[in-house]
Amino acid sequence: MPHSPAFTVWFTGLPQSGKSTLADLLAYELREVRGLSALEILDGDVIRTELSRGLGFSREDRDENIRRIAFVCKVLTRAGVPNIVAAVSPYREAREQARASIGRFVEVYCAATADQCADRDYKGNYAKAKAGEIAHFTGVDDPYEPPASPELTLDTVGRSPEDCLAEIMQKLESLGYLTPAGGAGGGGGGDQAYSADEEAEVASRLESLGYM
């Protein structure tokens, strides 16, 4: 499938704001529907156990974690491999440094309050943090700095994941990173047609992530 040079989509937001869910859906859309088989997804939880093992949750360690992720994204992007990041990345300065380093950078802010995220927290981490069982938890006793001017701000509580995905795809098309599907032109909702098998796969992924 024709497309412009590679890019990084960077999902940021509080824990349980929908970052991993949307990253997973976007990866499926790009690979299975748009044919971008050379695609990498970097999830914050996985990075913590692999690339950033040993780092803590001080501001310095958090910034170093983001620097490492950004370095990988820069290498992948410049090698022509699109990639998707889902990481809390709580500090604005670190995200802006990632943007400057990577270049072709699409910041997607998953906008949800700490209370809204706590309500959907199937892991129970917000409750543990409020009880003092987890320290330095973003949204409870550590700050989160929302982006000043992200490419996209998504209401991940008031809108379905599918609606959010459609807006992300439209943004990637408008930025020239993807060729519009079907050549229909113009954006309305629901222009991405899924087969029954694809819809079942998406539903299965959402359920496995605790979204359904």
Q: What is the pLDDT of residues 170-183, one digit of tens each?
A: 999 999 999 887 65
Q: Measuring CA to CA, which residue among 40, 31, 29, 61 is closest to residue 138?
A: 61
CA distances to 14, 63, 135, 178, 188 from 56, in Å? 18, 10, 11, 37, 44
204 tagged catalytic:
no
CATH code of the domain in which 38 resides: 3.40.50.300
Structural tokens at position 96: 């802006």
The pLDDT assigned to 211 comes to 38
Q: What is the DSSP string of 165-176?
A: HHHHHHHHHHTT
Strand bridging mode 40-43 / 8-12? unpaired
Question: Which of the residues 20, 52, 89, 195 is marked catalytic?
Answer: 89
Count the domains in the chain. 1
Number of helices followed by number of strands (H, E) in the chain: 8, 5
The pLDDT assigned to 115 comes to 96
* Spatial separation of the C-alpha atoms in residues 192 and 30, rounded to whole Å: 12
**pLDDT mean values, one per 10 residues, the chain (212 residues):** 74 96 96 91 78 79 92 92 95 97 96 96 94 94 95 96 97 93 45 52 52 39
Is 179 buried (19+), middle (13-18) or exposed (0-12) by CB count in 10 A? middle
The pLDDT assigned to 185 comes to 39
Q: What is the pLDDT of residues 130-180, one digit of tens each?
A: 999 999 999 999 999 999 999 999 999 999 999 999 999 999 999 999 988
Does the pTM exceed 0.95?
A: no
Q: Would 48 be classed as within a structural domain?
A: yes
Q: What is the residue range of 149's domain?
A: 8-113+143-204
